[in-house]
Amino acid sequence: MLAVALALSVGLVCAVLVLRGGAGAQRTAVRMPEVEPAQRKAFAVLRAEPDRPSAELAGQMENVVEGRGFGLHTSLARKVRTQLGDDAWVVPGNGYLCVMASTPIVAGCNTTSATIAQGMSVVAILPAALGGGKQYDLFGLAPDGVQEVAVKPDRGQPTLVPVVHNVYSYAASTMLHARLVR
């Protein structure tokens, strides 16, 4: 049997047709992944063109959340430079959204509806550069219209952190908690 793949692009919908030769040729249409309408509507970053992480990074992203049923589409990931100067990735999935920091790879994932309603964040715990201890880097995802997030360290006063391209980040020497400011 001879297999030939033809890619057709009609508007924004892409399909791959697989033709199998022989009597009674069989045609199967497979939909390419796309950002879900609710995700695209609520997050401007997901209306931009995908940035396609390297195969190595995409594999690392998938390993971080492997077996959790998020149905991530790393080919649709968007890279955003955070206020900490690191790259963060917004990765859509099947009914889920994830925000991932790439150094080190850490991920926070939640349902699309919960992320639209309350945002989502993840904390990377790193060794402090000087003097021992730990550094806590917070990365988060906020829907359109949210311009800042109140970040509260376990010790200390809350700080308002700007949201840029739907992403925010903050670093402290103590555990952090975030709340959207609407």
What residues make up the domain containing 176? 33-181
pTM of the model: 0.76
What distance in Å separates the CA atoms of residue 141 and residue 26, rounded to the nearest whole number? 43
Residues 51 and 7 reside in one and the same domain: no
Closest CA to 32 of 55, 11, 61, 53: 11
Residues 73 and 14 reside in one and the same domain: no
What distance in Å separates the CA atoms of residue 93 and residue 109, rounded to the nearest whole number? 9
Residues 24 and 43 reside in one and the same domain: no
Q: How many domains does the chain have?
A: 2
Note the pLDDT tens digit of each residue in 11-41.
Answer: 222 222 233 344 555 665 656 688 999 999 9
Residues 55 and 132 reside in one and the same domain: yes
Give the number of other CB atoms < 10 A from CB of residue 65.
Answer: 20
Residues 71 and 156 reside in one and the same domain: yes
Note the pLDDT tens digit of each residue in 151-170.
Answer: 998 888 899 999 999 999 99
Cα separations (Å) of 47 from 30, 35, 37, 78, 80?
A: 23, 8, 10, 9, 13
Residues 3 and 53 reside in one and the same domain: no
